[in-house]
Structures are given as C-alpha cells and as structure tokens.
A = this chain, B = another copy of it.
C-alpha cells in the first residue's frame, strides 16, 4: 500500500480531529443530491450543509440512472430523505462533447478502441435535468410527498440555477 502512503498519512491526521464518531446514517437535513463526479463540485458546501446532513450520489454528468433511483428509494424510505436535488453543471465534459468525440479521445489516450462502451454523453442539459427529475417524481417507490428539483450549477460562479 506504499502507493497510498501520502493519502493514508493525511487520513491519520483527519482521524485525529474526528468528531463524527457514533453518528448514524440518517440524512439529518432530509436531503439527497444527485450530481456529477466533477472535481470542482462541493455538494454539501454549495447548499450550506455539512457531514451527516445529506445523501450524495455522484456519477458522470449527475444523471438519475437506474442505480441512482435505487439509492433514492433507499434514501426516501429508510434514511429520511424528503427533498431531492438533481444537479448538473456548466462546462461538464459529458455535456460538451459528443459520444463519438469522447470515445475518440479515450481511444487516443488508451490506444484501444472504445466503440463498445456506452459513455452517456449529454446532448441537452436542461432537457436531461427535466427528464431526470421526472424519473424521480414518477418512481412507484418514491412518495409523492418527496420534493424533487432540478438545477444547473455554474462552476464559475458557484450558483445553482433552478431548472424544474
């Protein structure tokens, strides 16, 4: 594990001041967010929350995939989630390239043909957010009482723009 020594040393420092011992896994603010894996995104900080408050799902683009739906079903029914934010963001690699372009760039980098993969490039972010919010709202195991909103996060201003 020497390859991770720097990160594990940082982890030991983190654990020295650890304050979350004994905390439960409930979403104490009742919030779940589906957002992108992008390194610029601070999911909790951007809405003023902290550790313990929210369930955070992250994948390329911030999509409501089948698995994100499973996560939200668990969150809503078992972990006290009552509000869901679907958050895509500006300058997202998944929304600023075509599927073929992404595959081409992966092939150039890896030296292997990536044609067989489905990457999930996003053609229209606003429409995608609307469709993804609808997927949550209509799910048979997510109560109509759950509030679902769709947003686009501006990585250059830090602001969330409501879409739906």
Interface residues of A (CB under 8 A from B): 1, 3-4, 7-15, 18, 20-23, 25-28, 31-32, 37-42, 45-49, 51-60, 65, 67-68, 70-71, 73-79, 83, 85, 91-94, 102, 105-106, 109-110, 112, 114, 117-120, 140-143, 147, 149, 155-160, 162
Contact = CB atoms under 8 A, between A and B. Distances in A.
Given A13-B48, A21-B157, A105-B77, A112 B93 contact: no
B60 A74 contact: yes
Given A74-B102, A78-B105, A26 B39 contact: yes
A83 B14 contact: no
21 contacts: A3-B83, A4-B83, A7-B31, A7-B85, A7-B160, A25-B38, A25-B155, A37-B71, A57-B59, A58-B59, A59-B67, A59-B68, A65-B67, A67-B67, A70-B119, A74-B93, A74-B102, A74-B119, A76-B110, A78-B109, A79-B93
Contacts of A26: 39
Contact of A4 (B4, B58, B85, B92): B85
Q: How many copies does the complex hold?
A: 2
A40 B47 contact: no
A67 B47 CA distance: 26
Given A40-B20, A59-B71, A162 B4 contact: yes
A14 B46 contact: yes
Contacts of A119: 70, 73-74
Given A57-B59, A70-B118, A48 B85 contact: no
